[in-house]
Amino acid sequence: MLRFMFVGDSMTIGSAGEYTWRYRMWQHLCASLGGPFQIVGPRETLYDKAAGEAVSADYADPDFPARHRRHLAGWGEGWLHMAPVIEEHVAAARADILLVSLGLIDLGFYTNAEQTAENVHRFLAGARAANRRLRCVLMPVIPNIRAGHDAPFAAEVAHFNVLLAKAVADLAAPPSPLLLASPPADYDLHLDTYDGTHPSESGEHKLAAAFAESLHQGWGIGEEYAAERA
């Protein structure tokens, strides 16, 4: 039985009242895997903007099973924060596949592209130390609205995505393969986010679809994503 772990920042944890792309991915896996699976991780809550903490259980679908709400995602967390803790969490959850969307917060507040890439390497080394057969799908950074008026930030995002692709190419080898997801080509910040960064319902579907297509095309896991089914 495959054990999936979602690793990400505010776009992945989501906030109170949202479905999240994690929910869309859970629906897709239920519909397309044809067998049992688990979603694992040390957390299961959403971020509560009023409280300023990840303490909400107010998912848009209250029937989203608690056992499938699990994740390793945090509001304001990036590669910098996840690299030191990923080994312990992969080991504890016995994760088989990581679906990772990180980097925007790093580049926006903490580290430049080169430093962020170094944390990618630390993250992968730690994760693989916990499971030498671990598989990872890594999402490039999708530029947010800030990139439209902050040229240095946009340049760092573009540079990091090149470095991320290089890391995947250099480090992808048995028994721990890596995949670089293709960001949604038609991702529109005005339609697919509600604030220029965080995904709206259409954005949630597009992010889930990007991971689903990587799993399907790269490793034959699941089927093509169908929003009307998910």
Q: Among 41, 23, 177, which residue's Cα sits nearest to residue 169? A: 177
Tokens of 211: 């991971």
Spell out the domain ranges in the chain: 2-219
How are the residues of the chain apportioned to helix, strand and coil, as percentages rounded to the nearest 5?
45, 15, 40
Give residues with Cβ within 8 angstroms of 171, minimum separation 6. Answer: 121, 124, 178
Are 199 and 21 contacting, i.e. CB atoms less than 8 angstroms apart? yes
pLDDT digits (tens, 9 = 90+) for 132-175: 999 999 999 999 999 999 999 999 999 999 999 999 999 998 99
Burial class (CB in 10 A: 0-12, 13-18, 19+), 109: exposed
pLDDT at 64: 97
C-alpha of 99 from chain center: 5
Q: What are the helix (H) ranges across 146-195?
A: 151-171
- E strands, the chain, where? 2-8, 37-39, 46-48, 53-56, 72-73, 97-101, 135-139, 178-180
User: What letter would DSSP give residue 10?
Assistant: H
pLDDT digits (tens, 9 = 90+) for 39-74: 999 999 999 999 999 999 999 999 999 999 999 999
Per-residue confidence band for 230, with pLDDT thresholds at 50, 70 and 90? low
Tokens 């910040």 belong to residue: 189
Farthest-apart Cα atoms in the chain, separation: 46
Average pLDDT, stretch 18-45? 96
> Is it the case that residue 179 has pLDDT exceeding 70?
yes
User: Which CATH number fits the domain 2-219, given the four candidates 3.40.50.300, 3.40.50.1110, 3.40.50.2300, 3.40.190.10?
Assistant: 3.40.50.1110
Strands 53-56 and 46-48 come out as antiparallel
> Is it the case that residue 227 has pLDDT exceeding 80?
no
Cis amide leading into 175 (omega within 30): yes
Are 180 and 138 contacting, i.e. CB atoms less than 8 angstroms apart? yes
Per-residue confidence band for 228, with pLDDT thresholds at 50, 70 and 90? low
The tally of CA atoms less than 13 A away on the side-chain side of residue 25 is 33
